[in-house]
Structure 1
Amino acid sequence: MTALDERVSTRMTTRQKLILVLLLGSQFMLAVDFSILNVALPVIGEGLGFALADLQWVATTFALAAAGLTLLFGRVADLFGRRRLFIAGMALLAVSSLAGGLATSPSMLLVARVAQGLATAIVTPAGLSLLTTSFREGPLRARALGLNGALMSAGFTSGAVLGGLLTELLSWRWAFFVNVPVAAAVLLAAPVLLAESRPDRRPKMDLPGAVTVTLGLLALVFGLTRAGEHGFADTVALGSLAAGAVLLVAFWFAERRADSPLVPVAILQRPSVKWGNLSGLIAFATETSLVFLMTLYLQKVLGYSALATGLTFGVLGLGTVVGGVVAPRVLARLGDRRALVAGFAVQAGATASLALLGVASGWIWLLLTATFVGGVGNMIAIVGFMVTATSGLPDSEQGLATGLATMTQQVGITMGIPLMSSVVTAAMGHASGTAAVLHGVGVAVLVNAAMVLLGALLAGLFLRPSR
């Protein structure tokens, strides 16, 4: 390839830029939805009459639908048309967001959150597969995935900031209403910009695989959420986790026998898919749970308000944006595997430094610096995971690959907080007060860093080098 050909191959057309803006905007909005209501939960409870113990279902119902159904709709998008599913999901998101903003009872709000989670399960893999098929494998796709990862991660961290501002300045209802005009704009532009893609011959749907994987993921997410509230010794949590494991094993055997499997076993056995997704699971579980740990530190040790805590995480969001911008260059220079290892190494070092945090207010500068640097490293690892997990597969299987990657992302987000919460609780024992919280957070931070190092080790040992 000549230098001119290489420059042309890495230059986006005007249409590709418009497609990128459309898809990145929708993915950012979905990422914000994961966390935008967290700060507003107490106000929602007072406004609609939620019991304190039931408030967590506002987040749990969303997570159950989003994580449990993502893989299924990723494959459905491959079979029935990605653009069609993307548009249907965005329409559902607009309607459910409007319903959530107009809710007058807890049940109406929870139904709206389930519908929002369902819309996320439809739109996220369809949007990612449209992204990967719009940009061929190589520098252009790496750049697109880098920007996508940066905006999604920034969405997770900025959701709390946006939710706090909307709730304080307007009303918690605007945390729902803000989706409606964005979804409407996407619905107007998508039919014009996005090309439909589906196979000429539509195979039969793998019903046993769809049922076992969906129920298995629902049981797994519910068990993790329940464990985060009641501990991993809770019988309901253990039963749900065990049921999820049995169903996922049943899914594996169902796929081996199916004529048109939902997830072909051969794809699951590919090192890039298998180890790439495991790396992604670690990347999302550790960074999102670190936000939880630093929230405990800021509010319980330094005495920050919820809004001030959310604003503090703006620095982490900035770090993820920087990481997403530089990640394609890092991948081009180092290759997928070494970029993953390097990103994890930076994240682990920054995370481990947070174990030094103390009770004085001046420690906030260490927190800001470490979360920024760790955000850069984490985003390099996430982009490395996305590129690795979607590489080497034909366009006909990109919905499946992105569905797997999205499922990994959402399960990682769900499992990280219960794990770190249990570590904090165990480290605190029966003690209470500022010193006990600081000790529990410090121990959990070191466990978090160790998990990141494990991700670096697994990626370095089992992923094949690529450039």
Structure 2
Amino acid sequence: MSALTAAPTAAPPRSAHRWVALSILALAQFLIVLDASIVNIALPVLGEQLHMGTAALAWVITAYVLAFGGLLLLGGRLADRYGHRRVFLIGTAGFVAASALAGFSSTSEMLLAARALQGVSAALVAPAALALLTQLFPDAKERTRALGVWGGVAGIGSAAGVLLGGVLTATLGWQSVFFVNVPVGAIVLIAIPLLITRDGARSPGRLDAAGAVTVTAALVALVGAFSAVERVGFLHPLPAILLVVALAFGIVFIAVERRTPEPLVPLTVFRNRDLALGNVVMLLGGAAMVALFFALSVYMQAVLGYTPLITGLSQLPLAGALVLVAGVVPSLIARAGVRPALAGSLIVLAGGLVWLAFAPADAVFLTQLLGPTLLIGIGLGGAVVAATQLGVDGVAGGESGLAGGLINTSQQIGGAIGLAVLGTVAALRTAALEADGAAVADAVTGGFAWLFVGAAVLAFVGAVAVAVWPRR
């Protein structure tokens, strides 16, 4: 089935309350996004109680990221093959079970296994949920509004992780950052079968096992390579070896897909120029966004001396702006078009990041941080919604799970690359300033200034790509 089909060919899953169903799907997406950041604040306490060293603690994050990023394409294709609703429910049930297992963990091995299972489950949930959204809202205007809700909820999850992680860890212990997923996930499992009564038509044929194995290996190696850079640096042989492995599996994957009559990822899907552009922009935006949230949280705590709770509260204006804009941008897209809205959002994001780069080591929040973070929230809100719409528009119903997997994979790969590259740039700049005799706080601030400027460059490159990319 061609990815260039203008509208879903299968009847959408029936739901008498589509907007309620959307809120439940968005709740599941919120859990997945939240889980990528909420654990960070709990790591010190968790490590002390489970006797985990720094290297082992890094794997608490890496185990989730590797499984999630590496299996997203396979998860999307499984949803197309076996039913979006079915795979979504299986993934949600797995995520709830893995979260409970993580909360009950008494050893590091048990926790790491649970985190990997969380990542596997999330890789099923994310593309299936986005596919269900596109089929629940076949009308272009309604779909744009729905994606606005989707983007706003995802933004809340990114920013809320720091705040909720600090509050839950301080009041209920590190286990609570995992247990909080259980009742919320249970609501999703109960509500979705009632709101979405059946699946749409499934893709026929066999699952491309060779393609699934090779692309998963390539993505895991790629995410692992850039995750390793954060731990050991660019000069260590491990990232280079993993990059070579990723390249080798990627070449094999392309060769397999060219010869397979029923490929996991039909390469013709990239003839859809909107889909290709949406993924390129999401790759760049994911790189800028993940590096930003990492640096902003560290800057507020390590340089400005904020507590985790105050850090979370300080990021609420950014999250609020993101949510409000995500709700407004669908109207802007309806009037001006998705590409102008996306380009404008990326330029606003770049402007906010450059402004933030001028924040000093003794910045006052109201006068020197509030403005740029609000501007960043506005840019991110518009960019996430518009890029996601480009990535799923014009895709056949039988390939909507694939489209969801692609756009989520682009964001995850972009995040891994952005954090590794821009984090290294910040570290090198900090070291250079310290060698020149700068105070530690000033040196760290100077390093993060380069990171923010680098993220702004990525956003600007995305805006240029939108302007010059050929239209469908």
Same fold per TM (> 0.5)?
yes
SS of the residue 1:263 aligns to: coil
Return the match for 2:280 from 274, 278, 281.
278
**1:428 to partner: Cα distance:** 2.1
Task: Give the distance between the partners of 1:228 and 1:369, measured in 2 at CA.
Answer: 30
Whether the 8 Å contact between 2:77 and 2:402 is mirrored in structure 1 is: yes
Tell me which amino acid in the other structure corresponds to 2:164. Answer: L
User: Counterpart of 1:451?
Assistant: 458
User: Counterpart of 2:344?
Assistant: 342
User: Counterpart of 1:232?
Assistant: 234
User: Counterpart of 1:267?
Assistant: 269
Moved more, 342-351 or 284-293: 284-293
Moved more, 354-363 or 112-121: 354-363
Tell me which amino acid in the other structure corresponds to 2:114. Answer: A
For structure 2, the 5+ residue unaligned runs are 1-13, 435-439
Task: Give the distance between the partners of 1:245 and 1:194, measured in 2 at CA.
Answer: 40
What TM-score do you get using the length of structure 2 for normalisation? 0.93
**1:200 to partner: Cα distance:** 6.0
Task: Give the distance between the partners of 1:57 and 1:204, measured in 2 at CA.
Answer: 35
User: Counterpart of 1:170?
Assistant: 172
After superposition, give the CA deviation of every residue in 1:162-197 in whole Å (9 maximum; x if it has no partner). 111000111111111111111111111222211433
Task: Give the distance between the partners of 1:109 and 1:360, measured in 2 at CA.
Answer: 38
Tell me which amino acid in the other structure corresponds to 1:151. Answer: V
After superposition, give the CA deviation of every residue in 1:392-442 in whole Å (9 maximum; x if it has no partner). 112111111111111112222322211221111121235431121121111
Whether the 8 Å contact between 2:433 and 2:446 is mirrored in structure 1 is: no
Please state if 1:133 is matched with 2:135. Answer: yes
**1:324 to partner: Cα distance:** 0.9
Tell me which amino acid in the other structure corresponds to 1:389. Answer: G
**Larger relative contact order (CA 8 Å, sep ≥ 6):** 2
Task: Give the distance between the partners of 2:232 and 2:432, measured in 1 at CA.
Answer: 15
SS of the residue 1:260 aligns to: coil
Tell me which amino acid in the other structure corresponds to 1:462. Answer: W
Return the match for 2:444 from 437, 452, 457.
437
Task: Give the distance between the partners of 2:55 and 2:344, measured in 1 at CA.
Answer: 42
Whether the 8 Å contact between 1:82 and 1:196 is mirrored in structure 2 is: no
Return the match for 2:404 from 399, 402, 405.
402
Whether the 8 Å contact between 1:39 and 1:160 is mirrored in structure 2 is: yes
**1:346 to partner: Cα distance:** 0.5
Tell me which amino acid in the other structure corresponds to 2:107. Answer: S
Q: Spell out the pairing of 1:30-49 with structure 2 (5 A cutoff).
A: 30-49=32-51
Task: Give the distance between the partners of 1:232 and 1:312, measured in 2 at CA.
Answer: 33
Moved more, 36-45 or 430-439: 430-439
Task: Give the distance between the partners of 2:93 and 2:297, measured in 1 at CA.
Answer: 34
User: Counterpart of 2:244?
Assistant: 242
User: Counterpart of 1:319?
Assistant: 321
Return the match for 1:351 from 344, 350, 353.
353
Tell me which amino acid in the other structure corresponds to 1:271. Answer: R
When residues 364 and 295 of structure 1 are mapped into structure 2, their CA distance, relative to the original with a 3 A threshold, is farther
Whether the 8 Å contact between 1:206 and 1:260 is mirrored in structure 2 is: yes
User: Counterpart of 1:91?
Assistant: 93
Tell me which amino acid in the other structure corresponds to 1:64. Answer: L
SS of the residue 1:176 aligns to: helix
Aligned length in residues: 454
Whether the 8 Å contact between 1:293 and 1:420 is mirrored in structure 2 is: no
User: Counterpart of 1:4?
Assistant: none
SS of the residue 2:346 aligns to: helix
Whether the 8 Å contact between 2:15 and 2:195 is mirrored in structure 1 is: no
Whether the 8 Å contact between 1:296 and 1:441 is mirrored in structure 2 is: no
Identity over the aligned pairs, expressed in percent? 35
User: Counterpart of 2:301?
Assistant: 299
Q: Spell out the pairing of 1:7-18 with structure 2 (5 A cutoff).
A: 15-18=17-20
Q: Spell out the pairing of 1:203-214 with structure 2 (5 A cutoff).
A: 203-214=205-216
SS of the residue 1:295 aligns to: helix
What TM-score do you get using the length of structure 1 for normalisation? 0.94
SS of the residue 2:85 aligns to: helix
SS of the residue 2:40 aligns to: coil
Task: Give the distance between the partners of 1:242 and 1:306, measured in 2 at CA.
Answer: 38
Tell me which amino acid in the other structure corresponds to 1:284. Answer: G
**1:379 to partner: Cα distance:** 1.6
Q: Spell out the pairing of 1:365-404 with structure 2 (5 A cutoff).
A: 365-404=367-406
When residues 398 and 175 of structure 1 are mapped into structure 2, their CA distance, relative to the original with a 3 A threshold, is same
**1:148 to partner: Cα distance:** 0.5
Moved more, 106-115 or 296-305: 296-305
After superposition, give the CA deviation of every residue in 1:265-317 in whole Å (9 maximum; x if it has no partner). 11023211212101011112102211122223222321222332222112221
Return the match for 2:105 from 100, 103, 120.
103
Please state if 1:460 is matched with 2:467. Answer: yes
Task: Give the distance between the partners of 1:307 and 1:377, measured in 2 at CA.
Answer: 25
User: Counterpart of 1:82?
Assistant: 84
**1:201 to partner: Cα distance:** 6.4
Whether the 8 Å contact between 1:89 and 1:120 is mirrored in structure 2 is: yes
